[in-house]
A and B are shown apart, each in its own frame.
Chain A
Amino acid sequence: MEVAQVVGFGVIATVFIIFIRQNRPDIAQLLSIGVGVIIVVYVLGYLKMIVDVITDLALEAEINTIFLRTLLRVIGVAYLAEFGAQVCRDAGEGSIAGKIEFAGKLIILVMAIPVLLAVLESIISFVP
């Protein structure tokens, strides 16, 4: 049932945006950003459920929480960077979108370094 709400909401918003874009392209651009955010915030409840399930499974499997925390943070950074890049690309600023994605990748790399080191240490410990 939620799908119908989201689809209806998106279509109505698109009609509004088309109408407003003729006279006021700036407000239309802001409206499209707002609609995107509204839809994502609406669905975030499910995302929270999924993350909780994954966290519980990881705790049962006694996976080291550092790895799981890093994984979740990487996913968060990746999503936010993609959101920003998409907004900029919609507005026609492809280069800024590319820079945001580049920054996102660097931040993710920096966050992944501890996990990388841990993996390397465990590999080295196997080597006789």
Chain B
Amino acid sequence: MNVLRVDVLFQIAGIGIFISVLNIVLKQAGKEEQAQMLTLVGVVIVLLLVLQLVGDLFESIRVIFNLF
């Protein structure tokens, strides 16, 4: 029985909230470019986390249904 990966959920949610808060702060400080770069970095990190999850899903589906 696999365990419910709650840690990944909180990581992604944490990054999302952190990015949105920092964006607002940076916009106040007038640093638009840094805000954009920060958004990009945040999305890339979240994308990597989600890709790992999807990779695990595809691997276990492949094993169960011996697909490929």
Chain A residues packing against B (C-beta within 8 Å):
5-6, 9, 12-13, 16, 19-20, 22-24, 26-28, 30-31, 33-35, 37-42, 44-48, 51, 69, 72-73, 75-77, 79-80, 83
Give me 22 A-to-B residue pairs in the complex whose CB atoms sit less than 8 angstroms apart, sorted by A's number: A5-B4, A12-B9, A19-B17, A20-B16, A20-B17, A20-B20, A27-B43, A30-B46, A30-B47, A31-B50, A33-B54, A34-B8, A34-B49, A35-B9, A38-B53, A41-B2, A41-B56, A41-B60, A47-B64, A73-B65, A77-B67, A79-B65
Closest residue to B49 on the A side, CB-wise?
A34
Closest residue to A21 on the B side, CB-wise?
B16
Task: Report the bound CA distance from A7 to B12 in whole Å.
Answer: 19
* Contact for B20 among A24, A47, A51, CB less than 8 A: A24
Task: Report the bound CA distance from A73 to B65 in whole Å.
Answer: 6
Please determine whether B16 and A28 come into contact, CB atoms closer than 8 angstroms. yes
Tally chain B residues at the interface, Cβ within 8 Å.
36
* Contact for B23 among A6, A23, A33, A42, CB less than 8 A: A23
Contact partners of A40 in chain B: CB under 8 A: 57
Please determine whether A38 and B5 come into contact, CB atoms closer than 8 angstroms. yes
Task: Report the bound CA distance from A23 to B9 in whole Å.
Answer: 18
**Closest approach, in angstroms, between the C-beta of A18 and any C-beta of chain B?**
11
Asked whether any CB of chain A lies closer than 8 Å to the CB of B19, the reply is yes
Contact partners of B16 in chain A: CB under 8 A: 16, 20, 24, 27-28, 31
Task: Report the bound CA distance from A38 to B12 in whole Å.
Answer: 12
Task: Report the bound CA distance from A39 to B66 in whole Å.
Answer: 21
Please determine whether A42 and B12 come into contact, CB atoms closer than 8 angstroms. no
